[in-house]
Amino acid sequence: MGSEVTSVKEGDFVSAEMHVACGKCFQCRTGEAHICQNVKIIGVDANGAFAEYVVIPESNIWKLDPAIPQEYASILDPLGNAVHTVLAGEIAGRTVAVTGCGPIGLFSIAVARAVGASTIFALEINQHRRQVAKQMHADYVLDPSKDDVRKIVKERTGGLGVDVVLEMAGHPDAIRTGFDIVRSGGRVSLLGLTSKPIPLNFSEDIIFKGITIQGINGRRMYQTWYQMTALLTSGRLDLRPVITDRLPMKDFAVAMDRFEDRRG
Amino acid sequence: MGSEVTSVKEGDFVSAEMHVACGKCFQCRTGEAHICQNVKIIGVDANGAFAEYVVIPESNIWKLDPAIPQEYASILDPLGNAVHTVLAGEIAGRTVAVTGCGPIGLFSIAVARAVGASTIFALEINQHRRQVAKQMHADYVLDPSKDDVRKIVKERTGGLGVDVVLEMAGHPDAIRTGFDIVRSGGRVSLLGLTSKPIPLNFSEDIIFKGITIQGINGRRMYQTWYQMTALLTSGRLDLRPVITDRLPMKDFAVAMDRFEDRRG
Amino acid sequence: MGSEVTSVKEGDFVSAEMHVACGKCFQCRTGEAHICQNVKIIGVDANGAFAEYVVIPESNIWKLDPAIPQEYASILDPLGNAVHTVLAGEIAGRTVAVTGCGPIGLFSIAVARAVGASTIFALEINQHRRQVAKQMHADYVLDPSKDDVRKIVKERTGGLGVDVVLEMAGHPDAIRTGFDIVRSGGRVSLLGLTSKPIPLNFSEDIIFKGITIQGINGRRMYQTWYQMTALLTSGRLDLRPVITDRLPMKDFAVAMDRFEDRRG
Amino acid sequence: MGSEVTSVKEGDFVSAEMHVACGKCFQCRTGEAHICQNVKIIGVDANGAFAEYVVIPESNIWKLDPAIPQEYASILDPLGNAVHTVLAGEIAGRTVAVTGCGPIGLFSIAVARAVGASTIFALEINQHRRQVAKQMHADYVLDPSKDDVRKIVKERTGGLGVDVVLEMAGHPDAIRTGFDIVRSGGRVSLLGLTSKPIPLNFSEDIIFKGITIQGINGRRMYQTWYQMTALLTSGRLDLRPVITDRLPMKDFAVAMDRFEDRRG
């Protein structure tokens, strides 16, 4: 378009929103650009952060406060998912279950803690991730393959169930459990992607309980970025336990191998 | 308990909320009595409106404005379901699809119309009910067994889909259609009860579109009753097309037969 | 900037949002462009609609549905103020007082009516405007200089006061009355500009009653435009009584004289 | 009424909501009992907590978790005011100014901190209270009689102003300052009672900035009590700095003297 970039210059410490919204559709024009009808995702529709160079609209660049640790700058995209999900409804003084403790689930524990969730249940079958969940200060870290999650949650919530379920697994069992343990009138916020249809008992799971289910996509542009920045610069979030290794750029291949190992 | 009834007396023109809430659980104490954990439903847990006499707590009696037509007094329970569902989110200036035009679906059309919905699509396979839907002033009355609902809705909403789906059928096909035609960022409010699990494609149907799903149970006690009264006394709701027959009490058996016939 | 205009072309039937937002400040980046920190208003900061030509960013042009009457196109700016104010909180089934019946106040009556307000009180000292308020279907049209507004409102709202006050006068007496007649827990939405400070009794007027006061500025960009378009194209708004005269462009001077006369 | 008390028995560790709501008015019946039209306040309309015995409806008794420190039990009424005020709108990741650091203002700092406020400005002219505000972990503790509050707040918020003002002073100067430093689109939550009318510049202070003002009365019955309990039992609130002295019941007179001294 020939217009000049003025808000950012070479050498700035920045991160970027990887969803590029069209700016013209109904969603973009009503403050919902994160669900733009014509969105392009850098890394999906164009070369992403593993490429040598990335082309990004000026408006998608987020200048970072120097107070934010450099290593955090590389994880703001998934952290934003967590912030968006946690803050999609009331959370202060609420009981919360995080189903699935991959990186975004783990971040969600930290965020929920920082914004006043009262009791946090972390559900995860992978032992390493359960350990990290403890380091993120979840109150109860449960293994759904062994623990009687439903019983434990009910006992610890006065028989009520949790106010909020943050679904980060995308696995049918985790989703099933989430609907089981949410209290009547609670909310289930869904971020974890599923690969196939999952049967839901609408009457028992949703209607009689009068719950609210939210589909969570990306991060609000740019409300979530402001919230994330505020939480980070005020020192409320300690994300270090999630960052297991720090390698120089040249050891890229080693990093990817380790990543694949852990995932397994 | 021995306390005296003071707010109502013999001969008053009244209706009643048939959910009797415990008043002591978390939901009751936080303004959510309609999803009370210990609710008793008159007509389910005790003799209901077909019995000779009904025992009801004083607080559940709703005194009616004499301006409300007498025949409307007998349908306030389902009308309340409709009012609760329609007003569970933004509706003014919004496009709406009502999936399933039984009495509550038909009432929902009238309520949505009265509170400023812009375009209302009514979906119903029964011909008689489609005729009534027209009389309730739905803009488009569609037969999902014949019409290409998805195509028509997209065309009439600038390719966007509807802002709001009011699910009143409880049938898998209707639910399926509702999720297909709701726009990204829209809401699906579920009232129709389902008899068996329905598979949902969480990623495509909920998460990528960033929609909100609400389970709707009963009527808010007593917010919905105030809203319903206000809409009725201000003359905004014409419900007469839904009332097909008016019979004296002695013809009770005839009424029930007709009801069963229509249903079939 | 050298970029080409593609969404609109010569001859299109359009209106325009006259607030030009910067797109870069916190408010613009969080869906609140209508209160942009660096806003330029066409007609205030640059030549406006009385000039021979007006320069407007492409994104501020609003293409109009041909179904919208041509004369309505010239009043969308104040109509948008009314739509924004009415829809700034719950309105369906609510009692409403409009204090001040200039054009925006009169539009507010029509909008509140269209979106299901139950009882509408219009307060206005000018006789001509009271007549138009009646044509806009206000339920009670009162003259605060003669009528006992407080008494009448209390009587007609079961002693409660109104749920919603839409303040469109900017006059101390109207504002005073608004705070008097709003019910505990109600909202007062302020649009009318005041020229000097007005004393408020915070304890009695705001705190004990637990009310919410909203400052309303402009129109939401572009949520309000979508809502306005939806209400207009669905035929819910009859604004003709507000349009007292229709003159050809050459009689511009006559129109301005008449305008000044009426105002007096 | 002759009904028996069952939910509480002699010896229980309890606190109590001192607003006795009628249960029958519009507000009580729509989840807004804290602004009941017929409220009786124990301590105002009947003997209060300084009397030998107090009569309280069973429903107003709040059983306390043994994990809550005993001395906290005596300050739950003002703590509830703070919780209600802080949680009356969005707060996570938001900048906050608390104007007036009496006990409720100080509690508000702790609560805002616990629920993720990013930067907290405490404004107070009394030196002792400023010291306590520091102990409550306010980020900036300012003396409005000496510090250039407006300048400091603007500098520390990127020129924006604060997202949230919690007005706890009830003094014209504090209120004036609150309106000066709140950002466009922010909220001002008013709890501090004023003794006389305060002039407000509606256009500049409220309308152009598009802010929201909330009158805050009491505590939500009983939402606030649940939230307060959750925050206390999860150990998120350290209120000890506010409790300056602990005296045995027999030294009641000494306590009252000290209270009067401090106040001066």
Q: A224: nearest CA in chain C? A: C30
* C188 Cβ contact list (under 8 Å, min separation 6): C164, C165, C167, C178, C179, C182, C211, C212, C213, C214
Measuring CA to CA, which residue among B150, B144, B134, B152 is closest to residue B169?
B144
Distance CA A94, CA B185 (A): 25
Q: Do B119 and C226 touch (CB under 8 A)?
A: no
* C7 Cβ contact list (under 8 Å, min separation 6): A24, C58, C61, C63
pLDDT score for A259: 86
Measuring CA to CA, which residue among B176, B160, B165, B175 is closest to residue B212?
B165
Lowest mean pLDDT among A66-75, B212-221, C205-214, D127-136: A66-75
Measuring CA to CA, which residue among C252, C34, B68, C242 is closest to residue D211?
C34
CA trace torsion A137, A138, A140, A141 (10° rounding):
-100
Chain C residues with beta carbon closer than 8 angstroms to that of B220: none
User: Does residue C175 register a pLDDT over 70?
Assistant: yes
pLDDT score for D263: 67
Q: C30: nearest CA in chain A? A: A223
**Residue for token pair 């010896």:** D11
pLDDT score for D244: 87
Question: What is the H or E stretch that residue C261 is in?
Answer: helix C252-263
Taking every pair of C-alpha atoms in chain B, what is the biggest distance, in angstroms?
A: 62
Decide: A79 and A110 in contact? Cβ < 8 Å.
no
Pairing of strands D40-41, D19-20: antiparallel
DSSP helix, strand, coil percent of chain C (3-state; round to 5): 40, 15, 45
Q: C1 vs chain A: nearest CA distance in angstroms?
A: 5
pLDDT score for A3: 72
pLDDT score for D34: 96
Q: Do B170 and A198 touch (CB under 8 A)?
A: no
**Best residue in B17, B30, B38, B221 for a mutation probing chain D (most D CBs within 10 Å):** B30
Express as a percent the part of chain B with pLDDT over 70. Answer: 98
Out of B3, B30, B59, closest to residue D226 by CB: B30
Distance CA D76, CA D228 (A): 8
User: pLDDT digit string (tens) for B148-169?
Assistant: 999 999 999 999 999 999 999 9
Q: D118 vs chain A: nearest CA distance in angstroms?
A: 5
pLDDT score for C263: 67
Lowest mean pLDDT among B217-231, B250-264, D49-63: B250-264
Lowest mean pLDDT among A250-264, C240-254, D77-91: A250-264
Chain A residues with beta carbon closer than 8 angstroms to that of C223: 29-31
Q: C32: nearest CA in chain A? A: A31
In degrees, rounded to 5, the angle at the alpha carbon of residue D210 between the alpha carbons of residues D207 and D211 is: 105
**The token pair that represents A189 in the structure block:** 């916020």
Q: Do C7 and A24 touch (CB under 8 A)?
A: yes
CB atoms within 10 A of CB A263: 8
Distance CA B96, CA B164 (A): 5
Out of B83, B118, B228, closest to residue C234 by CB: B118
User: Does residue B1 register a pLDDT over 50?
Assistant: no
Decide: B164 and B94 in contact? Cβ < 8 Å.
yes
pLDDT score for D1: 45
Q: Do A29 and C226 touch (CB under 8 A)?
A: yes
Chain A residues with beta carbon closer than 8 angstroms to that of B26: 158, 160, 183
Express as a percent the part of chain D with pLDDT over 70. Answer: 98
Chain B residues with beta carbon closer than 8 angstroms to that of A37: 160, 184
pLDDT score for C66: 87
Give the pLDDT band of residue B65 (cuts 50, 70, 90).
confident
pLDDT score for A2: 54
CB atoms within 10 A of CB C131: 14
Distance CA A80, CA A62 (A): 12
Distance CA B35, CA C257 (A): 61
Chain D residues with beta carbon closer than 8 angstroms to that of A226: 93
B-C contacts (CB, under 8 Å): 61
pLDDT score for C65: 87
Q: Do D30 and B3 touch (CB under 8 A)?
A: no
Q: One digit per residue, pLDDT tens: chain A, 264 residues?
A: 457 899 999 999 999 999 999 999 999 999 999 999 999 999 999 999 889 999 999 999 999 988 899 899 999 999 999 999 999 999 999 999 999 999 999 999 999 999 999 999 999 999 999 999 999 999 999 999 999 999 999 999 999 999 999 999 999 999 999 999 999 999 999 999 999 999 999 999 999 999 999 999 999 999 999 999 999 998 889 999 999 889 998 999 999 999 888 765
Per-chain mean pLDDT for chain B: 95
User: Does residue B34 register a pLDDT over 60?
Assistant: yes
Distance CA D204, CA C148 (A): 31
Decide: D68 and D84 in contact? Cβ < 8 Å.
no
Q: Do C210 and D183 touch (CB under 8 A)?
A: no
User: Does residue C2 register a pLDDT over 70?
Assistant: no
Q: In the beta sheet, which residues pair with residue D122?
A: D98, D141
Per-chain mean pLDDT for chain D: 95
In total, chain D counts a number of residues equal to 264
pLDDT score for A236: 85
Q: Do B2 and D3 touch (CB under 8 A)?
A: yes
**Best residue in B26, B44, B95, B179 for a mutation probing chain A (most A CBs within 10 Å):** B26
pLDDT score for C1: 45
Task: Show which residues on chain A lie within 8 Å of chain C, measured between beta carbons.
Answer: 1-3, 7, 23-24, 26, 29-31, 59, 221-223, 226
Q: Do D2 and B7 touch (CB under 8 A)?
A: no
Outline where C70-221 has alpha helix (H).
70-73, 76-86, 103-114, 127-135, 149-156, 172-181
Chain D residues with beta carbon closer than 8 angstroms to that of A7: none
Decide: D72 and D95 in contact? Cβ < 8 Å.
no
Measuring CA to CA, which residue among C8, C43, C79 is closest to residue C238?
C79
* Secondary structure of D233-248 as H, E, C letters: HCCCCCCHHHCCCCCC
Q: Report the Cα–Cα distance between both ends of chain A, in Å, rounded.
A: 45
pLDDT score for A263: 67
Neighbors of chain B with 3 or more C-beta pairs under 8 Å: A, C, D
Q: What is the pTM of this model?
A: 0.97
Task: Show which residues on chain B lie within 8 Å of chain C, measured between beta carbons.
Answer: 83, 87, 91-95, 114-116, 118-119, 139, 226-228, 230-231, 233-234, 236
Task: Show which residues on chain B lie within 8 Å of chain D, measured between beta carbons.
Answer: 1-3, 7, 23-24, 26, 29-32, 59, 221-223, 226
Average pLDDT over residues C66-76: 90
Chain C residues with beta carbon closer than 8 angstroms to that of A3: 1-3
Q: Do D200 and C200 touch (CB under 8 A)?
A: yes
Write the ipTM.
0.96
Distance CA D224, CA D76 (A): 10
Distance CA C55, CA D53 (A): 75
User: pLDDT digit string (tens) for C180-203?
Assistant: 999 999 999 999 999 999 999 999
Chain B residues with beta carbon closer than 8 angstroms to that of C230: 93-95, 118-119
Give the pLDDT band of residue B264 (cuts 50, 70, 90).
low
CB atoms within 10 A of CB B89: 16
User: Does residue D22 register a pLDDT over 50?
Assistant: yes
Distance CA D10, CA B70 (A): 51
User: Does residue B86 register a pLDDT over 90?
Assistant: yes
Q: A27: nearest CA in chain C? A: C223
Average pLDDT over residues B124-147: 97
pLDDT score for B244: 87
The DSSP secondary-structure symbol of A3 reads P
Give the pLDDT band of residue C236 (cuts 50, 70, 90).
confident
pLDDT score for D2: 54
Out of B94, B139, B230, closest to residue C93 by CB: B230
User: Does residue D67 register a pLDDT over 90?
Assistant: no
